[in-house]
Amino acid sequence: MQQLQLAAEMLGLDEGLLEILKYPKRAAIVAVPIRRDDGKINVFTGFRVQHNDARGPYKGGIRYHPEVTLEEVTALAMWMTWKCAVAGIPYGGAKGGVRCNPKELSLAELERVTRRYTTMILNVIGPYQDVPAPDIYTDAQTMAWIMDTYSQFKGYLVPEVVTGKPLHLEGSEGREEATARGLTFCANEAAKHLKMKIGGATVCIQGFGKVGFNAARLLDTQGSRIIAVTDSKGGVYNQEGVNPAKVYRHKVKTGSILNYEGCKNITNQQLFETKCDILIPAAIENQITEENAGDIETRLVVEGANGPTTPQASEILVEKGIFVVPDILANSGGVTVSYFEWVQNLHREHWTEEEVRKKLKSMMLNAFDDVYDAMKKHETDMRTAALMLGVGRVADSLISLGLWP
């Protein structure tokens, strides 16, 4: 809300338009009862919030997390609206979630949660209405269950109802690593402006999931040194750099990054205090705060997670002269390839990995340049520039559509 307010002020946005943009168009809260493997019944709470669809169907991930709230999902839905507008793709913004601890659920229980949740939001999703995708602790398998549940009700297969599906089930080449690849393009562009070499740059990453791990892997192949990585349990540090694939294997084997050979164990807090050239928060929101922003010693922050930096921390980073590529730009590679997947599904096409990467690069570089130019033009920081661009594009669509009735 604070971000929207600031962008609206800088754009000189009409007060009525701002009022429209402050609220989601629809917020669904649903009960998700399932039978556990032991026969008992548990009821989880699910959400789907649709913020704005002035530029196209709603689009946004679904997360399974014990701390999911309506407020969080609403904020994430609004960010999706700006993100899709900044990325230049014809989508609005939405987000969903189920308040549960997926680590305590068996695969069969997760399937039942997913199918029941899908049934409860069946009337508000659809290929031209709202197209969900994976987010924290959901994956291609989750999307396959959603697609199957939706298709069972329709009576025919509807792959275009979700993105981030398995490759053999109408998924897109390059989707799994898309967010990280897009983030890496942004890191490279920002480094050029900072006259910093990516090869040899030291990198700290919080979160070692789909975004964090793939970002580590891609930057490692460019010669960057990944000196610290953490996940929900903490992580490891080694000034010489770690091999991301080996750390990943260690995590799969032991259930955690901790105690990886030749490294010092660190906490998430220590990760933010580690001096580096590039810092990538790729876990959850509100990790860089007023309390720790002052300790951050880096030249470049590239936000893989959504909302990892609080507004107060954001100001501190700007004052410190740290170049921040904000979430709605830096992690938009995921939704961009999701859009490619949807287009392929609608046309019953399958593009090659090379085609996907080429198109992603072109769209990411365009988006980066648009935000960078807006930053220069308005003499502001990258986050405010990205918000102004996103909010401005949505406002333009709303003005032309008019207000019904």
Q: d(Cα 105, Cα 220) in Å, to the nearest integer?
A: 34
- Cβ proximity of 207 and 283 under 8 Å: yes
Q: In the range 66-125, which residues lie near ligand NAD by CB under 6 A? A: none
Instruction: Judge whether 95 counts as a catalytic residue.
Output: yes
> Please, where are the H alpha helices in 14-154?
15-22, 70-87, 107-120, 140-154
Residue 306 binds to ligand NAD (criterion: CB under 6 A): yes
Q: Which stretch binds ligand NAD (CB under 6 A): 106-114, 218-226, 280-288, 309-317?
A: 280-288
Closest CB to ligand NAD among residues 171, 304: 304
Torsion angle of alpha carbons 180, 142, 121, 109, nearest 10°?
A: -140
Interface with ligand NAD includes 137 (CB under 6 A)? yes
Q: Which is nearer to ligand NAD, 272 or 380 (CB)?
A: 272
Q: What are the Cα distances from residue 299, in Å, to 85, 164, 275, 321?
A: 27, 33, 9, 8
Interaction between residue 208 and ligand NAD (CB under 6 A):
yes
The nearer residue to ligand NAD, 150 or 208, going by C-beta atoms, is 208
* Tokens coding 31: 């009960």
Closest to ligand NAD by CB, 331 or 380 = 331
Bridge-based pairing of strands 202-206 and 323-325 is unpaired
Supply the minimum distance, in Å, between the C-beta of residue 215 and ligand NAD.
Answer: 9
Secondary structure class of 43 (helix, strand, coil): strand
- Among residues 34, 102, 20, which one has the least CA distance to residue 68? 102
- Per the listing, tokens 């995921």 go with 334
Applying CB under 6 A, which of residues 224, 310, 331, 345 lies at the interface with ligand NAD?
Answer: 331
Q: Is 211 among the residues that bind ligand NAD (CB under 6 A)?
A: yes
**Of the candidates 304, 326, 390, 392, which one interacts with ligand NAD according to CB under 6 A?**
304
Q: Binding ligand NAD by CB under 6 A: which of 283, 316, 328, 363?
A: 283
Q: Which residue has tokens 């396959």?
A: 144
- Among 134-142, 152-160, 310-318, 355-363, which window interacts with ligand NAD (CB under 6 A)? 134-142
Q: Does 282 bind ligand NAD (CB under 6 A)?
A: yes
Out of 59, 83, 95, 165, the active site residue is 95
Judged by CB under 6 A, does residue 163 bind ligand NAD? no
- Residues 110-115: contacts with CB under 8 Å, at least 24 apart: 110/64, 110/142, 111/145, 112/34, 112/35, 113/32, 113/34, 113/44, 113/64, 114/142, 114/145, 114/146, 114/149, 115/145, 115/148, 115/149
Compute the distance between CA of residue 149 and CA of residue 151 in angstroms, rounded to an integer.
5
Q: Which residue is nearest to ligand NAD (CB)?
A: 209
Smallest Cα–Cα separation from 96: which of 59, 43, 147, 142?
59
Question: Hey, which residues between 218 and 257 contact ligand NAD (CB under 6 A)?
Answer: 230-232
Residue 8 vs 324, nearer CB to ligand NAD: 324
Binding status of residue 303 toward ligand NAD by CB under 6 A: no
CB 247 within 8 A of CB 229: yes
Indicate which single residue of 210, 217, 383, 393 sits in contact with ligand NAD (rule: CB under 6 A).
210
301 interacts with ligand NAD by CB under 6 A? no
In the complex with ligand NAD, the residue whose CB is nearer, 143 or 283, is: 283
Q: What angle do CA 88, 92, 95 make, to 5 degrees?
A: 120
Say whether residue 334 binds ligand NAD (CB under 6 A): yes
Q: What's the closest the beta carbon of residue 62 comes to ligand NAD, in angstroms? A: 10
Residue among 211 and 385 whose Cβ is closer to ligand NAD = 211
List 31's β-bridge partners, or say none: 45
Verify binding: residue 305, ligand NAD, rule CB under 6 A. Answer: yes
Interacting residues with ligand NAD (CB under 6 A): 134-137, 179, 206-212, 230-232, 268, 282-284, 304-306, 331, 334
Residues with a known catalytic role:
95
